[in-house]
Amino acid sequence: MNHLAHCFLSFDDEDLLLGNFIGDDIKGSAWKDYPEGVQRGILLHRAIDSFTDQHAGPRASKERIRQFAGRYAPAVTDILYDHLLAIHWEQYSTESFDIFAQKTYRRLEKRADEMPDVWQRRLPHMLQGRFLHGYRQRNGLEWVLQQFSRRIKQESFRESVASGAFSEYFFEHLSLFSEDFQAFFPELLAEARAKSGL
């Protein structure tokens, strides 16, 4: 799962949110350097990623896009699933997307000085672009995919994103990807809640 899901699966807890948001960049036992609540968020991030990697729903989605994304299929699926969460938002939250997003932006900005340097550099641009809102629309998702494709070496995927072929494939088969997601996300939600300690 990508940024939106990790923020959502922090269950309105600011410490969990911080840890869950920065979790990818906290390696090894470095999580022990953070306060207890943030530690739980970092470990929750790892638990979410582990559960996602093992579930049949994301595995099916990865296979659907492997022809485009190759070994990057897991990372690309994470991005696609944030879009699917955004468009199915009302099934999983009683809070409006806008209220959730604005609250998340405020909390992340407030805690920015506790983040690793890479996030302190990246976060202002993300907040300025309202990065969570980007997952709500097709053009926002395409922008995220373009940014991701520029950071990897697989030229075929970059070309499929640049040409729009990958986006066309995903949206043409949106119902199938949604089925994969809907079979998976309620189970992830229950797992994350159990692991969160809340």
pLDDT level of residue 1 (50, 70, 90 thresholds) = confident
CB within 8 Å of 17: residues ≥ 6 apart: 7, 10, 41, 104, 107, 108, 111
Label residues 20-54 b or e (16+ Cβ within 10 Å = b): bbbbbebeeeebeebeeebbbbbbbbbbbbebbee
In this prediction, what percent of the chain has a pLDDT beyond 90? 89
Predicted pLDDT of residue 79: 96
pLDDT level of residue 30 (50, 70, 90 thresholds) = confident
Distance between CA atoms of residues 42 and 18, nearest Å: 8
CB within 8 Å of 174: residues ≥ 6 apart: none
Predicted pLDDT of residue 197: 76
pLDDT of 65-91, one tens digit each?
999 999 999 999 999 999 999 999 999
pLDDT of 97-135, one tens digit each?
999 999 999 999 999 999 999 999 999 999 999 999 999
CB neighbourhood size of 159 (10 A): 13
pLDDT score of 198 more than 70: no
Averaged pLDDT for residues 178-189: 97
CB neighbourhood size of 150 (10 A): 10
Closest CA to 97 of 137, 138, 146: 137
Predicted pLDDT of residue 69: 94
